[in-house]
């Protein structure tokens, strides 16, 4: 083998290793295999928190140009079956987040590393040192949301009670407080607010009230029946087990 051929082969092997070692981000345009959830489940409720400033960053997150829920078609169709189960009982799903661009995850990481920015701590992580968010599994450099088959959601009774609007700068309330004390949400009582970095958010926490445990179990059972698995630190977080893109982290914007 010639010296140049050997160099080319070595460079090619390095490139292949890099492609295997690092997730491949998707193109800027949304793939045709993704859908707007409203095309599949027209009556689902949306409360897309990262399009506004009522979230743990306190600002609209990079990549959220619209308050939409985008998902792979497989995940959307599975959610439609959950909604079909709830509808006869005057209940509906409400989603907080669906597909999340990698640029949004990068925004999370930049925020987490800025330990001096604690303006949202009172509500979203009142008992957690911000320096430990990575260690405790609340923030990571990759998110299953970016693969397009993960959703954050809850259950709301119908007719849906009014959902209070958050006004930027209004006083924050600890997310682990009882319903009526924490920020009001029109969902069934799930024990904490959304994106509450607290042990009470763990789905199997045994200290929560029986009715809260029942509400969580209803959501978990319905989602698992349709092929989703629950994240063990967040009662609201579910990923489709047979997701079509298990190794791809997309970066097209939500718009």
Instruction: Note the pLDDT of residue 125.
Output: 98
pLDDT at 53 over 80: yes
Instruction: Note the pLDDT of residue 23.
Output: 55
51 pLDDT tier (thresholds 50, 70, 90): very high
What is the three-state SS of 175-239?
Answer: CCCCCCCCCCCCCCCCCCCCCCCCHHHCCCCCCCCHHHHHHHHHHHHHHHHCCEEECCCCCCEEE
Pairing of strands 70-72, 34-36: antiparallel
pLDDT at 47 over 80: yes
Instruction: Note the pLDDT of residue 220.
Output: 98
Q: Any catalytic annotation for residue 28?
A: no
**pLDDT one-digit tens code per residue, 147-173:** 999 999 999 999 999 999 999 989 999
Instruction: Note the pLDDT of residue 28.
Output: 82
pLDDT at 9 over 60: no
Instruction: Note the pLDDT of residue 25.
Output: 54
38 pLDDT tier (thresholds 50, 70, 90): very high
And the tokens for 221? 């059972």
Choice among 123, 174, 234, 243 that is catalytic = 234
Global pTM value: 0.89
CA distance 197 to 234: 8
Residues 26-53, mean pLDDT to the nearest whole number: 94
Instruction: Note the pLDDT of residue 200.
Output: 98
**pLDDT one-digit tens code per residue, 194-206:** 999 999 999 999 9
Residues 112-137, mean pLDDT to the nearest whole number: 96
Q: Walk me through the domains of the chain, giving residue ranges and CATH numbers.
A: 3-249 (3.30.1380.10)
pLDDT at 14 over 80: no
Burial class (CB in 10 A: 0-12, 13-18, 19+), 232: exposed
pLDDT at 243 over 80: yes
């Amino acid at each position: 083998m010639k010296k140049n051929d050997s160099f080319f082969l070595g460079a090619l092997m390095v490139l292949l290793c890099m492609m295997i070692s690092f997730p491949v981000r998707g193109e800027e345009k949304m793939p045709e295999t993704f859908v707007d959830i409203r095309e599949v489940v027209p009556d689902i409720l949306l409360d897309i928190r990262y399009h506004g400033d009522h979230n743990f960053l306190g600002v609209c997150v990079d990549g959220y140009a619209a308050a939409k829920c985008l998902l792979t078609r497989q995940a959307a169709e599975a959610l439609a079956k959950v909604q079909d189960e709830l509808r006869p009982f005057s209940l509906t799903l409400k989603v907080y987040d669906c597909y999340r661009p990698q640029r949004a995850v990068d925004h999370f990481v930049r925020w987490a590393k800025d330990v001096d920015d604690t303006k949202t701590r009172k509500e979203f992580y009142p008992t957690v040192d911000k320096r430990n968010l990575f260690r405790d599994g609340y923030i990571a450099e990759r998110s299953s949301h970016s693969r397009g088959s993960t959703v954050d959601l809850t259950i709301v009774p119908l007719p849906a009670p009014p959902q209070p609007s958050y006004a930027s700068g209004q006083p924050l309330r600890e997310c682990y407080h009882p319903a009526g004390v924490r920020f009001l949400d029109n969902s069934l009582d799930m024990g904490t607010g959304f994106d509450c970095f607290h042990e009470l958010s763990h789905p199997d926490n045994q200290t929560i009230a029986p009715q809260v445990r029942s509400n969580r179990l209803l959501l978990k059972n319905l989602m698992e029946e349709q092929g989703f698995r629950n994240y063990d630190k967040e009662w609201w977080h579910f990923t489709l087990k047979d997701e079509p893109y298990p190794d791809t982290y997309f970066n097209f914007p939500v718009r």
